Amino acid sequence: MLSVRDVSYHYEGGNVALSGINLDIAAGERLAILGENGAGKSTLLLTLNGSLRPRSGSVSIDGAPGRYDREGLALWRRAVGLVLQDPDDQLFAASVFEDVSFGPLNLGLDDHATAARVRTALAAMRIADLADRPTHLLSFGQRKRVALAGILAMGPRLLLLDEPTAGLDPVGVSELLATLEDINAGGTAIVIATHDMDVAYGWAERVAIFGERRIARLGPPDAVFDDLALLERLRIRSPLLLDIARALRVRGVLSADAPLPRSRAELLDLLAR
């Protein structure tokens, strides 16, 4: 669906954020982007949705080069939606319903079609009861869900999320991941940039580790997190669940050929056998 070729970007003053990035994102996939602060994760997301134009290289959507004129960007944003880390950077309307309506109205939809999209997006985010709530009276987790609903209402085929679980309590994280799984099951590709290795390991189909402004490793979570030397060099810890499973293998509790658990439930199931 989306292809990045030899993309580099530097900010004013020469601060290099991306260097020779190559990445393909397939329709309907789940990808996690990992790396320490300053590695370039957020810059990549802004490049993927057209907010930043590469200094060199190209971004293509469905095989066609991304266009940076007004019409091209409007089409781009319909296909690729971005949810920022801080929901207060996106929310501005007086009520939840009004805020989520903004995107569809700017797509040229009439009031009836917009209302239908808003109701669908709020239901998908499990916050239909908040439709008439003033945005300034929402909790942090609720504001995160409203910001995501505002992007969902535009009907993107690819959803980019910058640190979606940051600031949420454990129950909030579990609820958000369950919602993202439902959205992904409907065919929407999802890319998250995160510092949460456990979320990346249990949720993603592929993991990309950033280091030195480029992708140092890309592949299935099991394979990527098995490269312990790379993780140490790039200051990335191994997922706790994976560490536990490895320790249990060493002690003979899990057999060497047993599949590594990707969730707490899978680990408990293996231990119960």
- Residue 258: pLDDT over 80: no
In order of 16, 141, 247, 249, the CA distances from 257 in angstroms are: 43, 40, 14, 9
In terms of domains, do 144 and 252 share one?
no
The residue among 17, 8, 19 whose CA lies nearest residue 55 is 8
In terms of domains, do 172 and 61 share one?
yes
- Residue 15: pLDDT over 90: no
Q: What percent of the chain has pLDDT over 90?
A: 60
Question: Can you give the CATH number for the domain in which 227 is found?
Answer: 3.40.50.300
In terms of domains, do 101 and 121 share one?
yes
What mean pLDDT is reported for the chain?
Answer: 90
Domain membership of residue 272 as a residue range:
239-273
In terms of domains, do 261 and 273 share one?
yes
Per-residue pLDDT tens for 65-112? 999 999 999 889 889 999 998 989 889 999 999 999 998 998 888 999
Q: What is the pLDDT of residue 254?
A: 79
In order of 163, 175, 182, 189, 208, the CA distances from 211 in angstroms are: 18, 30, 31, 24, 10
- Residue 270: pLDDT over 80: no
Q: How many CA atoms lie within 13 Å of 220's alpha carbon, on the beta-carbon side?
A: 4
Dihedral sign for Cα atoms in the order 133, 139, 123, 89: positive
In terms of domains, do 93 and 148 share one?
yes
Q: Assign residue 222 a region: left if phi > 0, alpha if psi is -120 to 50, beta otherwise? A: alpha
pTM above 0.85, yes or no: yes
In terms of domains, do 124 and 225 share one?
yes
Structural domain count, the chain: 2
Per-residue pLDDT tens for 184-226? 998 999 999 999 999 999 999 999 999 888 899 999 998 999 8
In terms of domains, do 267 and 161 share one?
no
In terms of domains, do 17 and 81 share one?
yes
In terms of domains, do 163 and 255 share one?
no
Q: What is the mean pLDDT of residues 12-27?
A: 89
In terms of domains, do 233 and 164 share one?
yes
In terms of domains, do 209 and 262 share one?
no
In terms of domains, do 266 and 197 share one?
no
